[in-house]
Amino acid sequence: MSRTFMFVVAHPDDDAYGAAGSVALHADEPGFRFVLVHATVGELGDIRPGFPATRETLGAVRRAECEAAWRAVGREPDRHEWLGFPDGGVADVPLEELVAAIARIMDEERPDVVGTFGPDGIFGHPDHIAVGAATDAAFERLRDGRRPGLRRLLHGAVPQSVFDRWNAQRGELGLFVFQPTETYHMRGVPDEAIGITVDCRSVADKIVAGLREHRSQLHVMSDDPDDVERWGRRVSREWHVIAYPPGDGPMLTDIFDGLA
Q: Is there a contact between 211 and 235 (Cβ–Cβ < 8 Å)?
A: yes
Lowest mean pLDDT among 51-55, 101-105, 189-193, 229-233: 229-233
- The alpha carbon of 84 is separated from its chain's Cα centroid by a whole number of angstroms, namely 17
Can you name the CATH fold of 3-158+188-244? Rossmann fold (3.40.50)
Reply yes or no on whether the pLDDT at 229 is more than 90.
no
**How high is the mean pLDDT of the chain?**
94
Cβ contacts of 50 within 8 Å, gap of 6 or more: none
Question: Average pLDDT for residues 41-58, to the nearest whole number?
Answer: 94
Q: Tell me, what's the pLDDT at 225?
A: 76
pLDDT tens per residue, range 16-31? 988 999 999 999 999 9
Cβ contacts of 219 within 8 Å, gap of 6 or more: 46, 48, 225
Residue 153's H or E segment, with its range, is strand 152-156
Q: Tell me, what's the pLDDT at 1?
A: 66
Lowest mean pLDDT among 131-135, 172-176, 198-202, 208-212: 172-176
User: 30-40 burial string, b = 16+ CB within 10 Å, else e?
Assistant: eebbbbbbbbb
Peptide bond between residue 245 and the one before it cis (omega within 30 degrees of 0): yes
pLDDT tens per residue, range 111-145? 999 999 999 999 999 999 999 999 999 999 999 87
Residue 114's H or E segment, with its range, is strand 113-117
pLDDT tens per residue, range 72-112? 999 999 999 999 999 999 999 999 999 999 999 999 999 99
pTM of the model: 0.96
Q: Tell me, what's the pLDDT at 224?
A: 79
Question: Average pLDDT for residues 218-237, to the nearest whole number?
Answer: 86
